[in-house]
Amino acid sequence: MATAIGFTELGTRNNDPKATMLGDTLMEAVGQWLTEDKTPGRSAKEIDNRGSNFYVALYWAQAMAQRDPSWKVLYE
């Protein structure tokens, strides 16, 4: 979350729409990650930190691909 806010703040301060897009899409990805309940669990057979990070990256790539077609290859 802090990284997303940092990207958004960087984009705002430097008038850089690409940095702002990184922050906005990361916030969307974290929101989807929480909604889909892909947070790490403590019990056996539950998702761990590795799997949780995978889903954040997947949702972020998906959000980026929706806004910028050049990210579609990464998402797929």
Q: Taking the domains of the chain in order of start, what are their residue ranges?
A: 25-76
pLDDT tens for each residue of 11-64 = 999 999 999 999 999 999 999 999 998 888 888 888 888 989 999 999 999 999
The identity of residue 67, as a single letter, is R
Q: What values do phi and psi take at 63, rounded to 5?
A: -65, -40
Is the pTM above the cut of 0.95? no
Alpha-helical regions (H) of 1-76: 2-14, 17-35, 49-67, 72-75
Yes or no: say if 19 and 9 are a contact pair by the CB < 8 Å rule. no
